[in-house]
Amino acid sequence: MTGWLLWGLLFGSIGLGYFIYGKKQRSVVPLICGLALMAFPYFVSNMVLLVAIGAILCAIPYFLRL
């Protein structure tokens, strides 16, 4: 339970950063990834899946630049 909470907090914080960056730069990819990072921990209860999805969503703006 504690690990899930800390991972959710970490991914939510990164998501907030991506969201603010995407909004200021008018970039769609970081904006959408930021929203997804802030929302998905509420719907995933498996710890491994939480970390895997979070890592993928954190990496998408780095590799997909539009």
Q: Is a pLDDT exceeding 80 seen at residue 65?
A: no
**pTM attached to this predicted model:** 0.90
What would the two tokens of residue 65 be?
Answer: 């630049």
The amino acid that residue 36 corresponds to is A
Counting residues of the chain whose pLDDT is more than 70, the rounded percentage is 98
CA angle 18, 13, 58 (to 5 degrees): 50
CB 4 within 8 A of CB 49: no
Q: Report CA-CA distances (Å) from 15 to 20, 22.
A: 9, 10
Give residue-wise pLDDT tens across range 23-47.
999 999 999 999 999 999 999 989 9
